[in-house]
Structure 1
Amino acid sequence: FAILSAIQNHVTGRIPFNPVSEAYKSPYFRTQASLYEQVVTVIQLMSPHFKHIFNDRGYNKILFPSDPDVPPSNELMSLAEVYIMESDPIFDYPQPQLPNIKFIGGLSVGPSKELQEPFKSFVERSEKAGVGVAILSFGSLFMNLPKQLEEKLISALSRLQLNTIWRANLTSPDPNKILTSTWLPVNDLLGNKNVKVFMTHSGLHSLYEALYHAVPVVCLPIFFDQQPNAERMEAKGYGRNVDLLKTSANELLKAIEDVASNNKIKSTISTASEIYRELYTNPRQEAAFWLDHVMRYGGSYMRYSGQKIPMYLFIMDYVLVFLAGVVFALVLFLVVFILKRALSLCLRRDKHFKKD
């Protein structure tokens, strides 16, 4: 079987990793991670394993009551013959990989289509007036923001030197400058040459569409994977990462204008877009190819030995326990030795005082 995912799990996929050079979800490029980052990396990569130890058997009893021999989910995932990853080293950080891990890029991207109304007339009217367009979307889950955030966004957008198309469930305060809609053809809008900046919640598909069409981004992450996604976009020079809750309307306005007019950001994401388009011409076709390939031939020839061993062997639980035991024994020995020396000195001193 195959696994299609946007997130790589080094432990369940049995991907060798080195916390010194691969700080987990680190927003910056470093030749060597700090000690803190290394510790966090190990803990975050190991935590799914320890969670599975306590939870998987219980889940299996519920999901597979008639088949107690079904392996835990972390072991089951390691049996996949191919991992199709909606990721790539242009969007994500380069990492060591295995032969059965296939990067396909973003599944939602592709050439833009002709805009439909009311978006077409709004973009054309803006272009005739010599005004660029900004796109703002928080995805389908956040069309009703808290009143305070809506007012902050309206304050910034009303002063922006661009017209804005905003995916939101609200009435536009100025329809000539801000077009609101509960649905946006984001990929088609980003493909329009008059779109200058994309303000996004930093969902994976949204960022891939911006990368494909070379549109600089202002990342406004809210939760889950959006924050590390936004950090990567800023680290790679594709845009800015802005905390919408802590940023004032004036600061937000300045960030949007900086990204929209920054030639370096535009050049960086344009180069990345060219590389991406050359390497990932048809992600869906690539995914379909590997699914068909594995169904026809299997994928055992791509699996390495580390994917065939139990979890405790892969992460060397027994080695960690042994080393912890050695360290504990050494510490205990030192404590006992110091206490004995201190006690011996005290006894000698008492004898000396008694003689005097």
Structure 2
Amino acid sequence: MMKLTLCLLSDSLPDMNRPTLVVFLLLLCTLPFIHGGKVLVFPVDGSHWINMKVIIEELHARGHEIFVIRPADTWYIKAESPLYNTININSSSGFDEEAVGSFVIRMLNLRREGASVWARIPLKLELVAQFYELNKSVVQMMEQIFEDAEMMQSFRDAKYDVVLTDPVVGGGVLLAHRLGLPLVFNVRWTVQWEGHFAIAPSPLSYVPLPGTELTNKMTFPQRIKNVLYYFFTRFQIAYIADPNYKPFVHRYFGSDVHYMELFQAADIWLMRNDFTFEFPRPTMPNIVYMAGFQCKPSKPLPQDLEDFVQSSGEHGIIVMTLGTLVGELPEDLTEDIAAAFAQLPQKVIWRHMGKRPSTLGNNTLLLDWLPQNDLLGHPKTRVFVAHGGTNGVQEAIYHGVPLVGLPLMFDQQDNLSRMKARDVAKVLDIATVTKDIFLEALKEVLYKPSYREKMQMLSRLHRDQPMKPLDRAMFWIEFVMRHKGASHLRTESYKMSKIQYYCIDVAAFLLAVVLLIAIIFISILRFLWQTLFYRDKMKKE
């Protein structure tokens, strides 16, 4: 067939083009044959869905057929889309956007009011309880799916090639193993904290836990803090994850199976960070780093927004957004931020959905929504004021824009502390921010060249790769589809007990051997001594 195509095309072109055409077609023949596969996606809602959708769009563009599991209480996952087919589940996933937003505001208000740590403990316990209920809802949804024989048969009949899921909750993991399908993670977190800690060696001497705000260069007191924080996270896991997943996994997969074994058996971990963001640490062959996979060159702004940006002249612009969960900050904080912006010569584009501040200057434009990536990629953008979500931080790195951080909660403080450690961000405590503190931070990042220079260096490091992160992710998803998994990259250590993993049994055996040799040696010496002593005694007598 290829010969016939080559002959027909060669005859239809002038002689001078035939050698080029032959080379082109020979190269074409060497490309791997790619057919559209069937991908079952078990997503997580909120900001996690935003980056999962990027992968779905690319899979769709490559000719794959996508099926997305959609719970009844979803926030963002649309019932109809040209990108994917939906599998609607008449059950709750446990996500409640309004409840989370309300919680963040209540925590902010308490911190702004100067409430003590003790006064904030009930809210923190409430957050832990919300995570417990979230995982409980997911497990209940999976029980409903597993017990629905018709639905499970439809999953089997569909003959999916791979399951793609975000393991911050365990639904996709449980379903993939129940169906016996290859499993790929779009991951930063699992039900047991940060993804690396579930699969890769993580020495606490130089691998800081998220939440500690430590670096890989820890003093002795900092290592104590890191170890204590590790045990604190184990208590959280014992309350949030263990009671939900252990009974379910024992029921459906066997009493000898621990639920984390199912996570650790995933074929490929597409990790949403890299070592421009993460500190150096051990990793594993099936961890594929794709930080910034959602980043892309900026597109032209709408004309009215472009006119506003251009009106900034040589001073440039500041972009501010605090994510999707908080559209309206406490009023006193809003007034202080607006007043600080008003004293700068830069123009400001601020995503703000609350009451218009009375201190707002003529240089500030308030928007309900803004094209974040396109603004960060604009040459006139000087500073990004952000809450520290992973997506926003990575877009800032990609475009080389330094940060002023106002972390709210979750992983945001830790994300920004990593940027602070690299001297590309000024991080403020939102509980104590005033107009003067905020203004001073803005001026420092705006007018101290090192912030921008170091962020642009990070951007160059991030971009200097043999292939784009999204292309790398696509390769490995398709690799798993082609080969029905990637078991040769997956360690079997997760099947070992802690006694085997840490060689406690080996140490005990070697110690026993040493003790046995010592006992035998001592016994021989004692025997020889007694024999000689008895012989001398007999001679004397």
Q: TM-score, normalised by structure 1?
A: 0.80
User: Which residue does the alignment assign to 1:141?
Assistant: 325
User: Which residue does the alignment assign to 2:383?
Assistant: 197
Offset at 1:29?
Answer: 4.2
The one of 28, 34, 54 aligned to 2:243? 54
Offset at 1:289?
Answer: 1.1
Offset at 1:265?
Answer: 1.2
Helix, strand or coil at the partner of 1:218: strand
Offset at 1:44?
Answer: 5.0
User: Which residue does the alignment assign to 1:154?
Assistant: 338
- Segments of 5+ residues of structure 2 without an aligned counterpart are 1-182, 509-541
Offset at 1:245?
Answer: 1.8
Amino acid corresponding to residue 333 of structure 2 in structure 1: L
User: Which residue does the alignment assign to 1:350?
Assistant: none
The one of 110, 114, 126 aligned to 2:312? 126
Return closer, same or farther for 1:44/1:292 CA change in 2, 3 Å cut-off.
farther
Higher relative contact order, structure no. (Cα contacts within 8 Å, ≥ 6 residues apart): 1
Offset at 1:169?
Answer: 1.0
Looking at structure 2, the residues matched to 229 and 44 of structure 1 have their Cα atoms a distance apart, in angstroms, of 20
Return closer, same or farther for 1:225/1:10 CA change in 2, 3 Å cut-off.
same
Return closer, same or farther for 1:313/1:4 CA change in 2, 3 Å cut-off.
farther
Looking at structure 1, the residues matched to 273 and 246 of structure 2 have their Cα atoms a distance apart, in angstroms, of 31
Q: How many residues align?
A: 313
Q: Is contact 1:137–1:201 with CA below 8 Å preserved after alignment?
A: yes
The two structures, once aligned, show a CA RMSD in angstroms of: 2.6
Looking at structure 2, the residues matched to 201 and 224 of structure 1 have their Cα atoms a distance apart, in angstroms, of 10
Return closer, same or farther for 1:94/1:261 CA change in 2, 3 Å cut-off.
same
Return closer, same or farther for 1:311/1:147 CA change in 2, 3 Å cut-off.
farther
Looking at structure 2, the residues matched to 164 and 2 of structure 1 have their Cα atoms a distance apart, in angstroms, of 41
Return closer, same or farther for 1:92/1:163 CA change in 2, 3 Å cut-off.
same
**Structure 1 residue 2 and structure 2 residue 184: aligned?**
yes
**Structure 1 residue 217 and structure 2 residue 217: aligned?**
no
The one of 487, 493, 496 aligned to 1:309? 496
Looking at structure 1, the residues matched to 466 and 386 of structure 2 have their Cα atoms a distance apart, in angstroms, of 23
User: Which residue does the alignment assign to 2:227?
Assistant: 39
User: Which residue does the alignment assign to 2:476?
Assistant: 290
Offset at 1:121?
Answer: 1.3
Where do 1:35-184 residues align within 5 Å? Answer: 35-43=223-231, 46-47=234-235, 50-51=238-239, 52-60=241-249, 67=252, 69=254, 71-127=257-313, 130-170=314-354, 171=356, 174=360, 176-184=362-370
The one of 393, 402, 410 aligned to 1:207? 393
Offset at 1:95?
Answer: 1.0
**Structure 1 residue 23 and structure 2 residue 208: aligned?**
yes
- Segments of 5+ residues of structure 1 without an aligned counterpart are 323-356
Which moves more between the two structures, 309-318 or 179-188?
Answer: 309-318
Offset at 1:33?
Answer: 5.2
User: Which residue does the alignment assign to 2:436?
Assistant: 250
Helix, strand or coil at the partner of 1:276: helix
Offset at 1:202?
Answer: 0.5
Amino acid corresponding to residue 344 of structure 2 in structure 1: L
Looking at structure 2, the residues matched to 316 and 169 of structure 1 have their Cα atoms a distance apart, in angstroms, of 57
Q: Is contact 2:196–2:283 with CA below 8 Å preserved after alignment?
A: no
Q: Is contact 1:104–1:280 with CA below 8 Å preserved after alignment?
A: no
Q: Is contact 1:23–1:33 with CA below 8 Å preserved after alignment?
A: no
Helix, strand or coil at the partner of 1:279: coil
Looking at structure 2, the residues matched to 219 and 315 of structure 1 have their Cα atoms a distance apart, in angstroms, of 40
Offset at 1:60?
Answer: 4.8
Offset at 1:45?
Answer: 5.9
Offset at 1:41?
Answer: 4.9
Return closer, same or farther for 1:312/1:247 CA change in 2, 3 Å cut-off.
farther
